[in-house]
Structure 1
Amino acid sequence: MPIHVSRVLASLILAGAFSTTTAQSQPMKLADAVALSLQRAPSQLAAEATLRAAEANIAVANARPNPTVSYEHENVMGSGRYAGFGGGERTLSVAVPLELGGKRAARRRVAEAEQHSAGLGIAMTRSDIVQRVTEAFVAAVAARRQLSLAEEALALAQRAAHVAQERVGVGKASPIEAQRADVVRINADVARDKAERSLALAEADLARLTGRALEDSIAAPWFDVTEATPMPRTDVSPLSLMAAEAQAATAAARVAAARSERVPDVTVTAGMRRYGDNSDKAAVLGISVPLPLFNQGTAALARSKAEYDRALADRDAAAQEASQELAHAQVAVADAQAAAQAANGPAMAAAQEVARIARIGYASGKFPQLELIDAERSLAETREAAVDALAAFHLARARLARLQGSNDPIYKD
């Protein structure tokens, strides 16, 4: 290979590696996580294969029955003039089945209905993946927030323990205060370790779904926003109801196909027969019709009708369930929004002010240590509850979006 070509290839490889590294160094967004998961999710690949099979089944349903070519050599290996094969009669014929009762059109309608169901299956699978990835992404963001809060609480507990030791050393406090502060420090250290394990688990779950290790930060500017952005249209049927309706349509098509199967098919035969060792020929014509003596197709028709009735009942049940779930999900979003706004608003401000006053009072010797510990614990619990409330709000919005027929990420940035 020429030297200049090698240099060009090397430059392209380095540029590609640099661009890949740069892309991976960018903070992961929710839309990125969803896109990565959709590319590698086994359930998505399986749903796409099901759709391809349904599309191929349409071509199968459209195909006509194959004709049959037969060759017969009669009156051979006998005696006299029929000894051997020379005096026998040879017949070459072609038999063509003729489907009656609209069987081919009925098969095609069944295949088209199955194709529609398979398409909805892809949409439902995508919706499930989006929901699962959203839950994992929100859990990872919340776990990072909780770890940050745990580290802040540990640093504060360590400083409080140091101050308590100094106060004991100069005789301003009893050794009990130092022991209490040390207990708080130990508990904060345990909480920090627990938060680290929770974060590692949440990031591992998200990495399994996306196939990308979370070595960099996560971009979630929407996490602190409690104002609900516009949701998908409410006049769109949920995917579960659309799937149930598609199953009912497929069952109806199968009823029509079973009814058409009760009409017997006709096979037409045409050929040419040659007699013995002379040149005499004659045409052979025939027609055959099966006699429906033992199987008239009534059992298959009854079975398809029963399956259709079951599909209708499943559709009605899906409609009731979807309506109930949608109403509950809307209330859940409203409740989660109110809780998140309260936890990150008045409750947080009050807890911060109480902790600030307690620190000042304890430093000046006006407040006992127990009040400081109680105020710090209340602030830590309020911060943790605020993060949990934000996570619950976003998860409730994701569930509502899925029930309203959306299978896209609820946040793009």
Structure 2
Amino acid sequence: MFTPSGFKFAGVHCKIKRKRKDLGIIFSEVPCVAAGVFTTNVVKAAPVIYDMEILKKNSNGIRAVVVNSGVANACTGEQGMINARRMAEKTAEELGVPVESVLVSSTGVIGVQLPMDKVENGIEEAVKVLSDDPLPFAEAIMTTDTKVKMHSTRVTIDGKEITVLGIAKGSGMIHPNMATMLSFITTDAKISEEALKKLLKLSVDDSYNMIDVDGDTSTNDMVIVLANGLAGNTTIQPETDGFWKLYEAVHEVNQVLAEKIVEDGEGATKVIEAHVVNAPDMKSARLIARSIVSSNLVKTAVYGEDANWGRIIAAAGYSGAAFDPNKLDLFFESEAGRIKVAENGQGVPFDEEEAKKILSEKKIKIILDMKQGKEAAKAWGCDLTEKYVEINGRYRT
């Protein structure tokens, strides 16, 4: 795992949760240009509101992010805002940086106040163990996740080697337009604020905003990117060669993390990829792909290895996209093969046993050929199982 120059990480157990690590810090040795994308849910957690305000005022001077897991600090009123600010203040005090240079994030149970004595003790301990190793931080931000989610890559721009590292969490409440999904991207690239904002939005639209686990959009979603410039490249501006090179690196990281979130969906046994091709326009392609992976009926059919193709056509139909349903061809594909199940909007004879064999694999691709244009889009989801109900039926206990 590559780590960008000048970043330190920590993760500790401050006893918000019974056993696992539950508080983490990312720290940059120098101020960062920062950008963020946040939940579209009208009900926003205190840290989301706090960070949105900080980034409006100080997007060129961010030094740290402090994150707790176990308690979401959402639906917590004025005290929740006080606690979010206190997390930033305590972190700033311990690191010796301005309070407005610290971003805050929380994930966990909604409607519970943060145990600030534990949080403040955790911040003190985390600052003492900051290191180049990002793993403890990745462990500290997990909730129902079963695996840590990290990915890194390198790219050369202006003869300088630039590193991009992403760390994410997410397993449930994952739905297009982000969901209980936190992602923190660090890079040592030197880039303008305008370029970083544009780059992040472009990437999020085709990564995190194209995944679904259970159709719920969280109160706490955020993707934060920090760029500290220590790679020493010429400042990257929008639409330049350097911009697109860095975009490809950041997007690789975001795409891999998005797929890891889907693979780790609560109770999931299979990953579903919906690939819509030859669509009349990009908006329609994206709407239909997202609708397919968000359908509980599609999810349960994939779990049951049932080639119930009508559910997919129906999901396309209620996606909000305008199209001719009499031109649709539909295929299932996996490592076990490929099979056509519908042509021109109608079912065709196919071998049910062969279809079941294809659907028995861990990664299932649903290909919808609209034959109405040249645009294409992909979305990712997972199946829906009894285990999902079990996990979420006892989340607070």
TM-score in terms of structure 2 length:
0.21
**Greater share of helix:** 1
Flag the structure with larger Rg.
1
